[in-house]
Structure 1
Amino acid sequence: NSDLSLPLSKKLLLSNPEDDVSRGGLYINLREFVCGWGAAFINIAVTFPVSKLIFRQMIHNVGVSNAFGQLSNEGFYFLYRGILPPLCQKTITLSLMFGIYEECRRPLMAMQVPPLLAKSSAAIIAGSVEVIIMPLERVQTLLQDQRYNRSFKNTHHAFRVIASSYGIAEFYRGLVPILIRNGGANVCFFVARDELMALSPANSSWWGKTTHQFVSGAVIGAVTSTIFYPLNVVKVHIQSKLGGEYQSLLSAFVEIVRERGGASLYRGVHLNYTRAFFSWGIINASYEFLKKLW
């Protein structure tokens, strides 16, 4: 077999994934990982300020104007303070999300697993693997909270202080809501994405296809993020605390409802689904564009 004479790097880039699965071989589809990374980078560069505005609404239970006033008073430096963790987190997360999903879906489909089950299983596995970069999300939460503006100088300083003063386990505070959110959101995204992408006219122009890709990703992202928004509120509530007793998902949920009311679980949801609409539209269109360039 001529494939055996190729170095691994060549096989990673040149092998056909579907053919390789049918032969029972090992193929790593690097394109999915790289394009997912690139799509996330483009997205974060555009949407970070809006994300921070939403975060302030979540953590302080305030309206848009109040949260905007906080950020305006703090200045440009603090507006982009904390961008490194989400930049690293999102690029790695989406790289894993698209890459792991495809690596799991292909062999499951090759084993004749029903398509819906194969896609759902692959999506849940991808969501679980994404947890490996949870420490970045944890640090991002603390850096975006104004109560810790003087406690941490930057991302590196935050990691050092938390690890030395509170231990590694502190980075994984809020693990359960993140696992549920990742798995559920991934299933919704990939299953709905395949259905909507299949509706794209085969003979449409480049602009028509790009628009369809943007709208498909945007609608799915907005709906999915709204469904799982309360989990994010609970996650932020849990992760906004540094040290002390570890709070369960149920305990945090009850505490939020009791102290702030049920409506607080959707505080900031309007900005969130607006951001998600554009974010996932950008991600989906960028991802498909980068795949064509590969």
Structure 2
Amino acid sequence: MVGLLGNKVNLSPSEAIISGALSGVTTRAVISPFDVVKIRLQLHVGKKQGGRNTGLVNAVSTIFREEGVRAFWKGHTASQLLSVVYGAVQFGMFTKVSHVIEELYPGRSPDTQPLVSFVSGGVAGTAGSFFSQPLDLVRTRMVMQRHQLTYTSTGEAFLSILQKEGFRGFYRGLIPNLLQVVPSASLQFGAYSSCILLYTKVQAIEKERLSNKESFLFGAVSGVFAKCAVLPFDVTKKRLQVQGFRKVIQEGGLESVPVYKGLVHCVTTVYKHEGILGFYKGALPSLLKAFVSTGTTFMTFNFFSGLVTASRTYRNGLS
């Protein structure tokens, strides 16, 4: 039966890091427009906001009309760095934790694979999120810029935040980010492994690895499932990340975004003024992004890990 990530040949942590980094680069280039639209929608508080970004179609047309097609890749350098770091750390840590569990429980049943993936995914998500948080914050702020640019480059953004807000400024929204990422990563990997387990049982065929099409489908399903569960944390995280960025908030037509004193104040304020639906702003582009991004992530990881293992086999054959 295929393993935890659909590959019968076990990857080493270093091979998983390489495959994860390459997967992150590829996925980010594809899903950047979804991310830009999602962030813009999540940061709107009022129902009208001057006609800007009040719905998916309106947001896309407004961004295209006022800022051009390149706006859908705003903050792309920071986003690519974020994806490389997160992808490498996440898949590397997932593989390492999975190997440790395998060593501790060598005779475990194949039916426990989803549980192992759930636990390993949570640890991997925590590590990936912590190391990539500064890049996530810079990416969010650069996406919010419209015509009046506070940051002209990723490097300038890092220096400015460090000088004006200190090192702690990079970790604004870390708690809601972890509250979002940990269950999301656990559910993604657990659901992905469940799909593999169910599929192999139904097919009753021994496969060396999943096809790229199968990886995309299982990844897309697991991504949507996980996103539905954690979207409120994503909205809260984005609201906290743009605090201290009031000039760009106002220039972007988001004058009514409150000043939040912290996580609890943010949650209670959103609920009081926007209701429960306020935590699901940007739901449609978020779910579309989850479908495309998670499917692409697992598909490209499956592809690159296949190249890595093939390279390893070739090198071993020469030695």
The TM tier, using the shorter chain, reads: 0.7 to 0.9
Residue 53 (structure 1) aligned to one of 17, 21, 37: 37
Residue 70 (structure 1) aligned to one of 48, 62, 73: 62
Is 1:290–2:304 an aligned residue pair? Answer: yes
Q: CA offsets, 1:109-136, max 9 Å, x none? A: 2112874664443222212211122100
Aligned pairs for 1:1-294 (under 5 A) are 29-61=13-45, 62-72=54-64, 73-112=66-105, 115=112, 118-130=116-128, 131-146=130-145, 149-198=148-197, 199-200=199-200, 201=203, 209-242=211-244, 247-294=261-308
Residue 68 of structure 1 and its aligned partner are, at CA, apart by 1.8
Q: CA offsets, 1:154-211, max 9 Å, x none? A: 2111111111111111110111111122211111112221121231447599998332
Residue 146 of structure 1 and its aligned partner are, at CA, apart by 3.2
Task: Give TM-score, length-normalised by structure 2.
Answer: 0.77
The answer on whether the counterparts of 1:218 and 1:279 sit within 8 Å (CA) in structure 2 is yes
Q: CA offsets, 1:227-285, max 9 Å, x none? A: 11110000001111117987332221111122222212112111211121111111111
C-alpha separation in 2, matches of 1:36 and 1:207: 17
CA, structure 1 residues 41+145, in 2 after alignment: closer, same or farther (shift >3 Å)? same
Of structures 1 and 2, the one scoring higher in RCO (CA 8 A, sep 6+) is 2
C-alpha separation in 2, matches of 1:202 and 1:288: 21
The answer on whether the counterparts of 1:189 and 1:224 sit within 8 Å (CA) in structure 2 is yes
SS in 2 for 1:150: coil
C-alpha separation in 2, matches of 1:243 and 1:50: 22
Between Structure 1 and Structure 2, how many residues are aligned? 270
CA, structure 1 residues 207+93, in 2 after alignment: closer, same or farther (shift >3 Å)? closer
The answer on whether the counterparts of 2:56 and 2:284 sit within 8 Å (CA) in structure 1 is no
Match of 1:9 in 2: none
Q: Which amino acid aligns with 2:20?
A: G
Match of 1:22 in 2: none
Q: Which amino acid aligns with 1:196?
A: C
The answer on whether the counterparts of 2:189 and 2:222 sit within 8 Å (CA) in structure 1 is no
Match of 1:13 in 2: none
Deviating 4+ runs (over 6 angstroms) = 204-208, 243-246
The answer on whether the counterparts of 1:166 and 1:243 sit within 8 Å (CA) in structure 2 is no
Greater CA drift, 111-120 or 76-85: 111-120
CA, structure 1 residues 269+195, in 2 after alignment: closer, same or farther (shift >3 Å)? same
Identity of aligned residues (%): 21
C-alpha separation in 1, matches of 2:175 and 2:23: 27
Residue 48 of structure 1 and its aligned partner are, at CA, apart by 0.5
Task: Give TM-score, length-normalised by structure 1.
Answer: 0.83
SS in 1 for 2:87: helix
CA, structure 1 residues 45+243, in 2 after alignment: closer, same or farther (shift >3 Å)? closer
Q: Which amino acid aligns with 1:94?
A: G
C-alpha separation in 1, matches of 2:228 and 2:154: 29
The answer on whether the counterparts of 2:231 and 2:280 sit within 8 Å (CA) in structure 1 is yes
C-alpha separation in 1, matches of 2:295 and 2:150: 36
Which 5+ residue runs of structure 2 have no aligned equivalent? 1-8, 46-53, 247-258, 309-319
SS in 2 for 1:143: helix
CA, structure 1 residues 217+119, in 2 after alignment: closer, same or farther (shift >3 Å)? closer
